[in-house]
Amino acid sequence: MIARIRGNSKIEGEITVGGAKNSALPILASLVLISEEVKIERIPDISDVAEMISMIRSAGVAVNFEKNIVLARPSNLRGEIKEFGSSIRASVLLLGPLAVRMGHSQLHYPGGCSIGKRPIDIHLEGLRQFGILVDEKTDMIEAVVDKIPKDVKIDLRFPSVGATEHLMMTSVLIDGVHTEIRNCAKEPEVVDLGNFLNSMGAQIYGVGTDRININGVKRLNASVHSIIGDRIETGTYMIGALSSGGMLKINGISDGVMHNITNELKKIGAKISTYENSLIVYPSDLRSFKLSTGPYPQFPTDLQPQMALLGCHTKEYFEITETVFENRFRHVDELKKMGANISVDGQKIKVMPFKLHGAKLVGNDLRETATILFAAAIADGTSEIEKFEIIFRGYEKLYEKMKAIGVNFEIIKIDREVS
Ligand code: UD1
């Protein structure tokens, strides 16, 4: 799919962000654990969600998804999902929970955006601590429940978001077993998953800290849950507005999940007002800055590509060090096609201010494509972005929101489907 974007836009107006993709995916995966009907509100209508819903349906969960609401009830659960390979990395979250429920599970290796090696060793090492035998085949992974110890202790070698979620979901239905997970991820989306599971009667303590304790229970009850707003979608629009000197109001996001991001932006001169469920970004003079990504509460890696765009609009220079993924600078080549002055030194980039111009660009991953979409909207002249469809994996109601903030884009080519 190719999109054509008219440049010279000021990103301003008002939008409402959707529910967080990174909450929705693990929460949907956890539906293989339910015993009664649950309702989840604010599920974003994006292609990664569509794929996760197909997977849990294929595992036997009955799911209805309409107007951002998921209604799910248990049906004939099965542990093997062999029909299709998954292009989303979060699919691996099904392995442990299905194994616990069915005694055995089998899935294709997970996919996902190609940002570095992204191994799943922390997930699999954790599952082994539950006495689950894990067998990695060429393109499939198999998990078989063997002897589960009464007390499970897991030390994560890195606070992986996915592994923390996966192991938490795996432990909740191991009745009578106490699990302690150390060096956990503390991201708001991990907390959202914990809150959802607890709302169904799970006994999870300490979510949001680096030590989570879980007492396994027999079954989960009915529940209604609304997922948190998407802080990465919010941050992307904020950075777009700040880069273009526009004023933008963003609804549907609480200050609580944004403060580590707004604090960093304020440090470099961004004028931002935050309210209980919205925020406003004002035109700002941005100072030079140095920033490092890292596990929460450090600055999120998912906003690092967008910050490179912001760097083109600061006074002197911008330096960012990526510490979470080892291959997350491919947007640099795309921004360079637009004239950006960026140098890469290992895991660090330095961006000098520059007025970008339109170019022919390629979308590589979700956040990089969002970055070049905003870059193209602000640049002088017109741009085209190939492989634009990647953006629909994570940005909901894009046409509507782009229109609301004054960005003009059209799809000029849709690839013919290969049957
Ligand atoms: C989640 C987010 C993703 C975000 C990332 C880091 C979802 C659906 N996706 O991805 O948007 O960029 O957190 O904030 O929530 N690692 C290992 N072995 C493992 C697991 C991870 O080496 O078993 C490494 C990864 O290669 C990566 C780092 O740990 O370098 C962080 O990965 P992780 O926190 O697990 O990210 P995801 O859960 O995949």
pTM of the model: 0.96
Looking at the DSSP bridge assignments, the partners of residue 357 are 380
Per residue in 7-27, pLDDT (tens digit) is 999 999 999 999 999 999 999
If you average pLDDT over residues 272-286, what whole number do you get? 96
Q: pLDDT at position 112, please?
A: 56
What residue spans define the domains of the chain?
A: 2-18+229-413, 21-226
Does the annotation count 113 as an active-site position?
Answer: yes
Q: Are 216 and 173 in contact (CB under 8 A)?
A: yes
Looking at the DSSP bridge assignments, the partners of residue 3 are 385, 411
Q: Residues 174-196, buried b or exposed e (16+ Cβ, 10 A)? A: beebbbbbebbbbbbbbbbbbbb
In the chain, the amino acid numbered 32 is: V
Per residue in 97-111, pLDDT (tens digit) is 999 999 999 998 886
127 lines ligand 1 (CB under 6 A): no
Per residue in 152-210, pLDDT (tens digit) is 999 999 999 999 999 999 999 999 999 999 999 999 999 999 999 999 999 999 999 99
CATH superfamily of 21-226: Enolpyruvate transferase domain (3.65.10.10)
Ligand 1 mean position to 326 CA, how many Å?
11
51 lines ligand 1 (CB under 6 A): no
Quick one: which atom of ligand 1 is closest to the CA of 122?
A: 23
Per residue in 382-404, pLDDT (tens digit) is 999 999 999 999 999 999 999 99
325 lines ligand 1 (CB under 6 A): yes
Quick one: which atom of ligand 1 is closest to the CA of 120?
A: 23
Q: pLDDT at position 419, please?
A: 39
400 lines ligand 1 (CB under 6 A): no
> Could you give the CA distance from residue 328 to residue 296 in angstroms, rounded to a whole number?
18
Ligand 1 mean position to 412 CA, how many Å?
34
Looking at the DSSP bridge assignments, the partners of residue 281 are 248, 272
Percentage with pLDDT > 70 across the chain: 96
58 token code pair? 């294929």
Which residue has its alpha carbon closest to ligand 1 atom 22?
119
**Could you check whether 2-18+229-413 and 21-226 share the same CATH topology?**
yes
The full DSSP string for 206-272 is: -BTBSEEEEE--S----EEEEPPB-HHHHHHHHHHHHHHT--EEEES--HHHHHHHHHHHHHTT-EE
Quick one: which atom of ligand 1 is closest to the CA of 165?
A: 38
Q: pLDDT at position 88, please?
A: 83
Looking at the DSSP bridge assignments, the partners of residue 408 are 6
Residue 413 pLDDT class (50, 70, 90 cuts): confident
Mutate to test the pocket of ligand 1, among 48, 154, 158, 190 (most ligand atoms within 8 A of CB): 158
Mutate to test the pocket of ligand 1, among 117, 118, 326 (most ligand atoms within 8 A of CB): 118
Which residue has its alpha carbon closest to ligand 1 atom 39?
162
> Could you give the CA distance from residue 413 to residue 310 in angstroms, rounded to a whole number?
29
Ligand 1 mean position to 415 CA, how many Å?
30
Nearest to 143 by CA among 103, 179, 171: 103
Per residue in 108-119, pLDDT (tens digit) is 888 655 555 568
> Could you give the CA distance from residue 185 to residue 309 in angstroms, rounded to a whole number?
27
Ligand 1 mean position to 160 CA, how many Å?
5
Percentage with pLDDT > 90 across the chain: 87
Mutate to test the pocket of ligand 1, among 161, 257, 369 (most ligand atoms within 8 A of CB): 161
How many CB atoms are located within 10 Å of the residue 371 CB?
A: 27
In the chain, the amino acid numbered 81 is: I
Pick the CATH number of 2-18+229-413 from 3.65.10.10, 3.40.50.150, 3.40.50.300, 3.40.50.2300: 3.65.10.10
- Report cis status (omega within 30 of 0) of the bond before 297: yes
If you average pLDDT over residues 20-35, what whole number do you get? 98
118 lines ligand 1 (CB under 6 A): yes
Ligand 1 mean position to 10 CA, how many Å?
33
Which residue has its alpha carbon closest to ligand 1 atom 29?
160
HSE on the CB side for 155, CA within 13 Å?
1
Q: pLDDT at position 42, please?
A: 98
Q: pLDDT at position 89, please?
A: 85
Per residue in 328-376, pLDDT (tens digit) is 899 999 999 999 999 999 999 999 998 999 999 999 899 999 999 999 9
HSE on the CB side for 255, CA within 13 Å?
8
Ligand 1 mean position to 49 CA, how many Å?
18
Per residue in 130-151, pLDDT (tens digit) is 999 999 887 889 999 999 999 9
Task: Tell me which of 113, 124, 145, 191 is the catalytic residue.
Answer: 113
Per residue in 240-273, pLDDT (tens digit) is 999 999 999 999 999 999 999 999 999 999 999 9
84 lines ligand 1 (CB under 6 A): no
> Could you give the CA distance from residue 176 to residue 182 in angstroms, rounded to a whole number?
20
